[in-house]
Amino acid sequence: MPTYASLIDVDDRDVQNAQELASIWGEVRTEFEQHNAALQESYAILGEHDFLAVFEAGDREAAFKSALTLRRHGLQAQTMEIVDTDNFSQLVDEV
């Protein structure tokens, strides 16, 4: 399955407290599964963005639905397809 990463920013108006934010990840995981996607990992990060979510999706449509799920939960996300560095190395060798 293709893998995607979302750099997420939290809008303080949409997420009121840490407990609410923690519960959002469980809801996101469940909704991703409904869209033929699986949340693999999520991290709180320091810097320009607040969180990083890594997920697999069955196809591009599932990835779009998953990205929209983040938005629906008040999470502003920049989502992109990613490739494992070993796979990237193989691609480079083929060129």
Tell me: pLDDT of 13 over 90: no
Q: What is the pLDDT of residues 22-72, one digit of tens each?
A: 778 889 999 999 999 999 999 988 999 989 999 999 999 999 999 999 999
Domains identified in the chain, total number: 1
Residue 95 half-sphere exposure toward CB, CA atoms < 13 A: 6
* Residue 19 pLDDT grade (very low, low, confident, very high; cuts 50, 70, 90): low
- Residue-number span of the structural domain to which 48 is assigned: 3-93
Cα four-point dihedral sign 3, 15, 43, 30: negative
pTM of the entire predicted model = 0.84
Task: For residue 38, give the CATH number of its domain.
Answer: 3.30.70.60
Q: Which of 74 and 2 is assigned the larger pLDDT?
A: 2
Ordered alpha helix ranges (H), the chain: 18-34, 60-72, 85-94
How confident is the model at residue 12, as a pLDDT? 62
